[in-house]
Structure 1
Amino acid sequence: MTAPIDRYLRAARRESTLRRYRQALEHFESDWGGLLPASGESVVRYLAEQAEQLSSATLRTHLAALAEWHKRHGFLDPTKDARVRDVLRGIQAEHPRPVKQADALQLQALDECIAGLQGQASSLVAGERLRALRDQALILLGFWRAFRSDDLCRLQIEHIQIQTGKCLEIFLASGKTDREHRGRTVNVPALKRLCPVQAYEAWLAASALRQGPVFRGIDRWGHVSADGLNPNSVSRLLRLAFARSGLDGEGYSGHSLRRGFATWASRNEWGTKALMEYVGWRDVQSAMRYIDTNAPFGDWLR
C-alpha cells in the first residue's frame, strides 16, 4: 500500500481511537495470550475471563478493536457471534459499575482561577507570563464553548477569525461525532467578564503566533513549541493552573470544562434543544451525562 493511501486511511480515524485500539489488541494478544485472527469462542472466553478486571465500556472498546482488525485484514468478524453479545450483556448485569465523571467546573471556581492567572500574566518571567496567558485562553475557550480536550488541541490559528468585541468564528475540524469528517463552524461570544475573545487575543499577541496549533507547550525559558498540545495533557494543565492560583483543582479533568458549561447553561435556563445545538450533542442522553443536576432542596437540607 502506498504512503498516501496509508496516510488517508489513518486520517479516517482519530489518533486517540487508533491508540486505544492498539492498546486493546496488545491486551488481547500479549496480556491475555489470544491469537489473531480470533474465533468467536476465544472472544467469548476473553470477555468472561476479563469481566472482573475491565469495565463493560472498556470491553466494548476491545471488541470494536477486534472487529476493526478482522475487517481490515479480510477475516470474518468474531465479535458478531451471538454468544459474544449475550456474554457482554451478562457481564453488564453481573458487574454494574458507576460511571466516573470529572467534577463540573463551577463559575465561581473558574472566576478565582482566572483571577490568579491574570496576576501571573504580568510576570517578568517569560515562561510564567506565557503559560498564564495560554492557560487563560485554553480554559475560557474550553468552558464557554464546551470543547473537549481534543477539540482544543486541534484548533488552528488560520481557522479562527477574530471579530474584536463581538466573537470568534472558529472552523473546527472533524471530531469525535463527525463521522463524515466535514468539520463545523462555531462562534464563541465576547463577554463582559471572563471573556474568551480577549483571552485568545492576548495569547496570540504575547506568543506572536500566526499559524498552526493555537495551544502549544512552553518550556521553562518561555520558548513556545512548534507542536500542538496532546489532548491527554489538558487535564494536567488545568489542575496546574488551579494550583498556581493557590486553588485545589485535583478533582478536575479536561471534561470538567464541558461539564461545567453544561451545568451553568442548565441552571441559567437554557433549553435542552438550545444546549444540544450549541455544544453539538446529537441526543438528550449524551447531554444529560454532562449536566450536574443538584436539585435545590433549600431549607429541607440538614
Structure 2
Amino acid sequence: MSDLDRYLNAATRDNTRRSYRAAIEHFEVTWGGFLPATSDSVARYLVAHAGQLSINTLKLRLSAIAQWHNSQGFADPTKAPVVRKVFKGIRALHPAQEKQAEPLQLRHLETVIDWLESEAQTAQANADQPGWLRARRDTALILLGFWRGFRSDELCRLQVEHVQAVAGSGITLYLPRSKGDRDNLGKTFQTPALLRLCPVRAYIEWLNASALVRGPVFRGIDRWGNLGEAGLHANSVIPLLRQALERAGIPAEQYTSHSLRRGFATWAHHNGWDLKSLMNYVGWKDVKSAMRYVEATPFTGMSIAAEKRIAP
C-alpha cells in the first residue's frame, strides 16, 4: 500500500469501510447490479428491497453507492431526482419506528456490579484466575461504559497509555478518534471518582489484576487466564453485557451495548441535567442525536450518594 493509499484509507472509519464494502457487494453480487450504475438501476434496487430492508439500511446502501462513484470519478446516480423520489415514496409507504436499545436502569447496574463483585471474590477464594480476571474486566467495562456514555467501539479502542486514573479523584481518557470526531483531532474525556459504582476504582482494580502497562485496556481472556494481545471486538460487548446481566438474574435480551449510553443519558436527564450539559459530557454535537438517547418515560433508578459526584 502506497503512502497515499494509506492516508486515504485512514480517513474513513473501519466500521464505515466494512459497511460500504458489504453494501457494494450486495448491490453487485447479490442483486446483480453493474458499476458504474445508472439512476434507473439504483431506483430499481431500492424498489426491490423496499419493505425488506430498513430505511436506515437503504440509506447506508445509497451512501456506499455514492461514495464508490465519487471515489472513482463518476457522476453520483443517487442524487438523481428519480432516486430521491423513490426513496421518499418508500419512507411514506413503509414507515417504521426506529428500534432503540433499552436503557440500563441504575438499579440493574447496581445489581449486576454487586454480582460481578461476588464472582470476583469467589473466584479469588477458589484460585480461579480466569474467572477473577473476567469479573474485574467486565466490572470496569460496564461502569466506564455507563458513567462515561461510551460506545462499544470506543470502549474497545481504549489504550492503557491514554488513560490516567487517580484513586478517589477521577479518570482521564483520551481517544485519538471517534465517531463524532470527524476531523480526527482526538478528544479527552474525564469522569470523577464516585462513592459507589465507581468507574475509577473498577478501572484501577482491573489494571492491577491484569498487570497491563500498554496496549488495549479491554481484551479477551482464555480459559487458562491468558490475556489476548488485541482489544475486544466491538461486537463482543453485547454478549458480554447480556451474559453478566443474566448471571445476575436480570432478563437481558432487550439490552445492547447502547443500553449503557442510553442508561446514562436517561439518568442524567432525570437528575436535572440540561441538554447542552449532557451533549458536552457525552460528546454529541447534534441535538437530534442526543434526544434519541434520552428516555422519555419515568426513570426507575435508585438514588445513591455516588450520583451526586457527577454534576452537569
Shorter chain as denominator, the TM-score bin is over 0.9
TM-superposition CA deviations, 1:75-114 (whole Å, max 9, x none)? 1111111111111111111100011111100000000000
Pairing 1:1-302 to 2, within 5 Å after superposition: 2-122=1-121, 123=123, 124-295=127-298
Give the share of equivalent positions with the same residue, in percent: 55
Q: CA RMSD in A?
A: 1.2
| Structure 2 runs not aligned, ≥5 long | 300-312
TM-superposition CA deviations, 1:207-236 (whole Å, max 9, x none)? 010001111111111111000011111111
> Which has the larger displacement, 125-134 or 2-11?
2-11
> Which has the larger displacement, 279-288 or 243-252?
243-252
Name the CA distance, whole Å, in 2 between partners of 1:241 and 1:130.
Answer: 14
Name the CA distance, whole Å, in 2 between partners of 1:115 and 1:26.
Answer: 46
Alpha carbons 1:52, 1:95 under 8 Å: kept: yes
SS of structure 2 residue aligned to 1:121: helix
Match of 1:300 in 2: none
Q: AA paired with 2:53?
A: L
Q: AA paired with 1:293?
A: A
Number of residues paired by the alignment?
295
Name the CA distance, whole Å, in 2 between partners of 1:277 and 1:292.
Answer: 18
TM-superposition CA deviations, 1:122-160 (whole Å, max 9, x none)? 212111111110000000000000001111011111011
Q: AA paired with 2:256?
A: S
TM-superposition CA deviations, 1:263-291 (whole Å, max 9, x none)? 00011111111111101111221111111
SS of structure 2 residue aligned to 1:16: helix
1:6: how far off?
2.5
Alpha carbons 1:154, 1:173 under 8 Å: kept: no
Name the CA distance, whole Å, in 2 between partners of 1:295 and 1:158.
Answer: 40
Name the CA distance, whole Å, in 1 between partners of 2:231 and 2:238.
Answer: 15
Q: AA paired with 1:151?
A: E
| Structure 1 runs not aligned, ≥5 long | 297-302
- TM-score, structure 1 normalization: 0.95
> Which has the larger displacement, 247-256 or 3-12?
3-12
Name the CA distance, whole Å, in 2 between partners of 1:7 and 1:281.
Answer: 29
Q: AA paired with 1:40?
A: S
Tell me which stretches of 4 or more aligned residues in structure 1 moved more than 6 Å.
none
Q: AA paired with 2:63?
A: A
1:69: how far off?
0.8
Name the CA distance, whole Å, in 2 between partners of 1:173 and 1:142.
Answer: 17
SS of structure 1 residue aligned to 2:212: coil
- TM-score, structure 2 normalization: 0.92
